[in-house]
Structure 1
Amino acid sequence: MNRNTLAVLVSFSLLLSNAQAAPAPEAARRLAQDATIVDTHIDAPEGLVDHWDDLALPTPGKEFDYPRAREGGLDVPFMSIYTSADQDDAGTAWQVANAMIDSVEALAQRHPDKFALLRSPKDLKRLQRGGKVLLAMGMENGAPLVDDIGNVAKFHARGVRYITLAHGRNNRISDSATDTQPRWHGLSPFGQQVVKEMNRVGIMVDVSHLSEDAIRQAVELSSVPVIASHSALRHFTPGFQRNLSDENVKAIAAKGGVVQVPFGSMFVDAPAAKAYADYVSAREAYRQAKLAAAAAGQAFTATEPQFPKVAPGSVAEVLDNIDRIVQLTGGADHAGIGSDFDGVNGALVSELHSVADYPVLVAGLQQRGYKDADIRKILGGNLLRVWSEVERAATP
């Protein structure tokens, strides 16, 4: 989810900051510290490029920084290398992506006592020594690949370990879940090459944001498990195409993959999802009308749509999504977490404010009867399994 589209919800996050969730029970805090927590979607890099913040220090106004990551037990945050459809259209996505990667590298270089870059799950235990937070990278939107298949290997060399094939609009790789009309009816011919090349070099295929057909085709084409880095279930948000159908959850799991549940209210709360979906439609209509007016040389005076104010969802709704993934797939092997911290402008469920709050999620899982071994899988074990499988199958 990105970025400025939800700015009007900031007032809600400010209210919530004055009503922090009750501390998690000690058993939940201990497990969060002892388990390996992997969060596959944190949008810190975009903010670093726009305005540099030293995230090794307490950083008010952000949802990820080192002190709170340690407080919450976070071990491996995937830093989102996000580029927009507009940047793709402008031809700047490649440059923007590389600048974001530079910003992640700078954090590790400036604070080698606190951060390290994680390029392989095999290095996790070694690099963790001394309490370091390990920064992995995932590319949200394949736009920076442009039309050069060689860029897949180049971004792998820079540390990218998953690629979300598309984002809010169709691109040259894949159809998006939220575009108005399909362009490829799934993956493009180039997109099929991209999936195969990602398999070859060892980059996880991420199907979040993709259309129903594109998800199905990517799962079928990939020779290794795929992930949904930050997607909840359409079962709880009827009509919200950005979320996953039950059928695609089952397909991802049947291939050995994992669905990483986000913490944004618009993913897990039906009224918020409906409001966001309506907003996306209105925003696209506004964009098309503005383009048409420009092409005709006419003045354009329409007011840009604004996201409506909605009440935040709750951690119970995040847990409901995890429960349903477990039920649909027959166990706890295919659920994980991809929070979208720093990516929804504060529009988070009310109990999960920052990376300090994973123990709240752990407590909820414990209260619902999950065994510690299964909680460990959900917190990070499942994602590390998939990453390891993708890496072992690579033939670079």
Structure 2
Amino acid sequence: MILAALAFCFWACNPGSENTERDYSTLSDEERKELAMEIALNTIIVDGHMDLPLRIYNQTNGDINSAYDFINRQDEGNIDYVRAREGGVDAPFMAIYIPASYQETGGSKGLADTLIMMVEKLATTWPDKIAMAYSPDDIRNNFEKGLLSLPMGIENAAAIEDDIANVEYFFNKGIRYMTLTHGKDNLVGDSSYDDSETHGGLSEFGKEVVKEMNRLGMIIDVSHITDKTFFDVAEISGAPIVATHSSVRSFTPGFERNVSDEIIQKIAEKEGLVMITFGGSFLDQAYADANSEIRAHIVSWLEENNLTYRDPEAQAYIREYSADKKPSVHVSKVAEHIDHVVKLVGIDYVGLGSDFDGVGDTLPEGLKDASMYPNIIEELLKLGYSREDIEKICSKNFFRVWEKIMEVAEKS
């Protein structure tokens, strides 16, 4: 086994070797697993979206001074420092998530500020292991130092409230992308989860937000928006656009939250990126259908029993009721979505965006937490992807897009 691993390293690490072009799909399962782990640990892996900050917020009751033990293995959630290191993930984007309810109650900007401070506290508490990152070079430098990078993006432009100046305010706070909507239409544009079509696409305010993001070099995240909103963004933006956590709609027909082939083609035309997300309902139609039926039953049951999702009795019932009602989804489905994008527009326009800590218990077998990224690589090797291809998917595509967005900003 040791000799096999050394051979893999020789093939992978010596571009001039005659084995560089080896067909990895012919490897044995054991050989492929070893190679996948080696690639994961020696390649920068960027993940476009994780909801860890809100998990910290909920577990500390929003107290910025409360201790949260990110550095040790945790029983809950999908990522901690140990599992990130085991899986080779190097730069998980921390989602500064603003629930749509804040659009009604107010306080969006304040919540965003608190979540940003909670991410920064992880880096200041463990500076020998974790560092903030605001550019591709930051991530590369942190990787060379053995540090886990924590770049940040805002999920839901409700965080800027009704003030265009807040886009620059958050950029200066370290935010490097912004998801334009979330579960409801907001002041910027229409959400794929909302049937209201309040603006019929981007609002006039939203058009100004897109231009301001271009000026600053902030990545425009088109996950969560309607198709009409997307094409408004594509028309206005002078920089590439990114779907930081979306999968392929052709696998889930009618699910607007995923991206259509037409949208994938437009993203590629604008030199952008689709970062495939991992939730079962995004990956597989049968799973999505079963999940919808379960959700409808549970909503009715909660109402009949005057309970909420958080009540212990409800949690026990939900676990028992849901246990055997969802079809199995495997990590290979993620590779299938990646492969679809590659076959449609090429290897340069796809990446990874797990939505860890944001999709509950819907994650596929073999991809339950941040320790399992090598399993994605293993599936890609089965499909015949080269090491160079996998490095592009893991981070090089994202760095190319981000650097192009920065270049557009410098020229504006």
> TM > 0.5 between the two?
yes
SS at match of 2:151: strand
Structure 1 residues 172 and 47, CA, compared in 2 at 3 Å: closer, same or farther? same
2:277 to 262, 265, 279: 262
Where relative contact order (Cα < 8 A, 6+ residues apart) is larger, the structure is: 1
Structure 1 residues 150 and 183, CA, compared in 2 at 3 Å: closer, same or farther? same
Aligned equivalent of 1:319: 335
Structure 1 residues 263 and 89, CA, compared in 2 at 3 Å: closer, same or farther? same
- Aligned amino acid, residue 45 of structure 1: P
**Cα distance, 1:272 vs. partner?**
2.5
Aligned equivalent of 1:364: 379
Q: State whether residues 43 and 341 of structure 1, in contact with CA within 8 Å, keep that contact through their aligned partners in structure 2.
A: yes
1:260 and 1:281 map into 2 onto residues whose CA distance is 29
**Cα distance, 1:127 vs. partner?**
2.4
Structure 1 residues 313 and 325, CA, compared in 2 at 3 Å: closer, same or farther? same
2:202 and 2:286 map into 1 onto residues whose CA distance is 31
2:349 and 2:334 map into 1 onto residues whose CA distance is 15
- Aligned amino acid, residue 138 of structure 2: D
1:251 and 1:194 map into 2 onto residues whose CA distance is 20
SS at match of 2:250: coil
**Cα distance, 1:274 vs. partner?**
3.0
Aligned equivalent of 1:14: none
Aligned equivalent of 2:105: 90
Structure 1 residues 169 and 372, CA, compared in 2 at 3 Å: closer, same or farther? same
**Cα distance, 1:161 vs. partner?**
0.7
**Cα distance, 1:249 vs. partner?**
0.7
**Cα distance, 1:49 vs. partner?**
0.9
| Number of aligned positions between the proteins | 363
2:266 to 236, 248, 251: 251
**Cα distance, 1:351 vs. partner?**
0.8
Q: Which moved more, 1:125-134 or 1:268-277?
A: 268-277
List runs of 5+ in structure 1 lacking aligned partners.
1-21, 291-299
- Aligned amino acid, residue 101 of structure 1: I
2:126 to 108, 111, 114: 111
Structure 1 residues 282 and 180, CA, compared in 2 at 3 Å: closer, same or farther? farther
1:72 and 1:24 map into 2 onto residues whose CA distance is 15
Please give the per-residue CA displacement for 1:311-360, whole angstroms capped at 9, x wherever unaligned: 3421121111111101110x210010000111111210111011111100
2:131 and 2:102 map into 1 onto residues whose CA distance is 29
SS at match of 2:251: coil
TM-score normalized by the length of structure 2? 0.83
Structure 1 residues 249 and 121, CA, compared in 2 at 3 Å: closer, same or farther? same
**Cα distance, 1:392 vs. partner?**
1.9
2:299 and 2:115 map into 1 onto residues whose CA distance is 26
Q: Which has the larger radius of gyration?
A: 2
Identity %: 39
2:54 to 38, 42, 46: 46
Structure 1 residues 337 and 199, CA, compared in 2 at 3 Å: closer, same or farther? same
Runs of 4+ off more than 6 Å? 278-285, 300-308
**Cα distance, 1:129 vs. partner?**
3.7
Structure 1 residues 74 and 86, CA, compared in 2 at 3 Å: closer, same or farther? same
1:347 and 1:55 map into 2 onto residues whose CA distance is 22
Alignment map for 1:1-396 (pairs within 5 Å): 25-52=33-60, 53-276=68-291, 309=322, 310-329=326-345, 331-395=346-410
**Cα distance, 1:36 vs. partner?**
1.0
Q: State whether residues 319 and 365 of structure 1, in contact with CA within 8 Å, keep that contact through their aligned partners in structure 2.
A: yes
TM-score normalized by the length of structure 1? 0.86
1:144 and 1:225 map into 2 onto residues whose CA distance is 22
- Aligned amino acid, residue 316 of structure 1: S
SS at match of 2:234: helix
- Aligned amino acid, residue 42 of structure 1: M
Q: State whether residues 233 and 243 of structure 1, in contact with CA within 8 Å, keep that contact through their aligned partners in structure 2.
A: yes
- Aligned amino acid, residue 318 of structure 1: V
Aligned equivalent of 1:3: none
Please give the per-residue CA displacement for 1:104-147, whole angstroms capped at 9, x wherever unaligned: 00000000011000001122232234311000001111111101
Q: State whether residues 181 and 191 of structure 2, in contact with CA within 8 Å, keep that contact through their aligned partners in structure 1.
A: yes
Structure 1 residues 33 and 277, CA, compared in 2 at 3 Å: closer, same or farther? same
**Cα distance, 1:275 vs. partner?**
4.4
When the two chains are superposed, the root-mean-square deviation of aligned CA atoms in Å is 2.6
1:282 and 1:83 map into 2 onto residues whose CA distance is 27
Structure 1 residues 231 and 278, CA, compared in 2 at 3 Å: closer, same or farther? farther
